[in-house]
Amino acid sequence: MHHKENELPLFTEEKPIHKNEEQKGKTTEKLTRLDIDAKTREKILSYCRLKSGEIWEDPEGKHKVGVLDATNPADVQKLFGKEKSRLVINDPPYNVVVGNANTQNLSKINVNEYIGFSRKWVSNVLSILDDNAGLYIWLGADQNDGLQPLPEFIIMMREFNELRTRSFITMRNQRGYGTQKNWMSVRQELLYYIKGNPPFTVVYTDIPKILRGYYKKINGKITENFERSKSQFIRPGNVWVDIQQVFYRMEENVPGAYAQKPLKSIVRIVEASSQKNDLVSDFFSHSGVTLLASEQLERRCYTMELDPVFAELSIRRLEHYRKTSKTGWQWDNPFPEVPIK
């Protein structure tokens, strides 16, 4: 992609695409969605180092990845032992069907069943939370079905008296789904709860402040917001519009992993709600983004994934980063030993 002089590229980690690499917008990812491609999954499974119930321990002593069930107390105990987590970032199934397939990983069940499933894993999260800890939960709302499961989930969370609500964050996607007869659905919801009094560090976006004003008297002197500010950039607040949705032209893309969370969003959470060497956890690892953010920010991370393919993908992403400093594979194959036509 070519840019005019003094014009910032929209996607700073893009590689240029040549005509022989892409035809009429066709995706050049080597892998299709691994949650629905049964034949490719079968080939990859033989190269997965973990089976159900097993845990990979980082040779550098920082992290753990387990093929474990987030709703099973024994599995959670197996991963954490007596350790407690300062921060948990969970991205569970949304119970909202998008795309072209109703798959196991993005399936839709009765909302009461979904809340029962959610209640189990939230209870397990509480069992490993530090006395002062944060819990972030990504969730969806089906605009075609009464906005479930978001309101039911929020009400269910009131059962857990140890937790207090802190914020309701919305992250805007650049692409979405919808029709010409409705507003396109481009939002992702992020719920923030705390237990006790955890640390919180103010973070900033890359968006410079341009609006002056907001006058206030400080020590007898009238000052405006630029004078009082601690940064030339704005804070993200609880509506995030500055984070690029992951797609196959970005370096951080993990082929085969659908609906990945942007690394920048997880880095923001980890920076704000944990400190160096803290234990950060993720009960639904998927693309391994929480694991990678923890590695970058010098935190430890314990994560689990029910599917051995995505557990392997998470481990490989960490290893790939340590070897190459790259955050993903863009459109390349994370499983080169499995030929993809």
CB 69 within 8 A of CB 307: no
Q: What is d(CA 184, CA 178) in angstroms, rounded to the nearest whole number?
A: 5
CB 284 within 8 A of CB 257: no
Q: Give pLDDT, residue 173.
A: 87
201-213 pLDDT, tens digit each:
999 999 887 666 6
Check whether 339 has a pLDDT greater than 50.
Answer: yes
- What is the per-residue burial (b if ≥16 Cβ within 10 Å, else e) of 196-233? eebeeeebbbeeeeeeeeeeeeeeeeeeeeeeeeeeee
Which pLDDT band holds residue 72 (cuts at 50, 70, 90)?
very high
Which pLDDT band holds residue 215 (cuts at 50, 70, 90)?
low
Q: What is d(CA 166, CA 141) in angstroms, rounded to the nearest whole number?
A: 20
What is the DSSP code (8-state) at residue 250? Answer: B
Q: Give pLDDT, residue 178.
A: 64
Which two three-digit tokens encode residue 65?
């990845």
Nearest to 115 by CA among 92, 88, 91: 92
Q: Give pLDDT, residue 228.
A: 57
Which pLDDT band holds residue 98 (cuts at 50, 70, 90)?
low
Q: What is the mean pLDDT of the chain?
A: 87
Taking residues 84-98, what's their average pLDDT?
Answer: 91
Q: Give pLDDT, residue 133.
A: 98
Check whether 1 has a pLDDT greater than 90.
Answer: no
User: For the chain, what is the radius of gyration of the CA atoms?
Assistant: 21
Which two three-digit tokens encode residue 220?
């007898």
113-161 pLDDT, tens digit each:
999 999 999 999 999 999 999 999 999 999 889 999 999 999 999 999 9
Check whether 65 has a pLDDT greater than 60.
Answer: yes
Check whether 225 has a pLDDT greater than 90.
Answer: no
Q: Give pLDDT, residue 101.
A: 44
Q: Give pLDDT, residue 32.
A: 82
Distance separating the N- and C-terminal Cα atoms of the chain: 27
Check whether 103 has a pLDDT greater than 60.
Answer: no
143-156 pLDDT, tens digit each:
889 999 999 999 99
Q: Give pLDDT, residue 99.
A: 53
Q: Give pLDDT, residue 229.
A: 62
Nearest to 97 by CA among 33, 38, 152, 143: 143
Nearest to 76 by CA among 129, 113, 35: 129
248-276 pLDDT, tens digit each:
899 999 999 988 999 999 999 999 999 99
163-212 pLDDT, tens digit each:
999 999 999 987 766 678 888 888 999 999 999 999 999 999 998 876 66
Q: Which domains does the chain have, with CATH numbers?
A: 38-205+235-324 (3.40.50.150)
280-305 pLDDT, tens digit each:
999 999 999 999 999 999 999 999 99
Taking residues 94-106, what's their average pLDDT?
Answer: 58
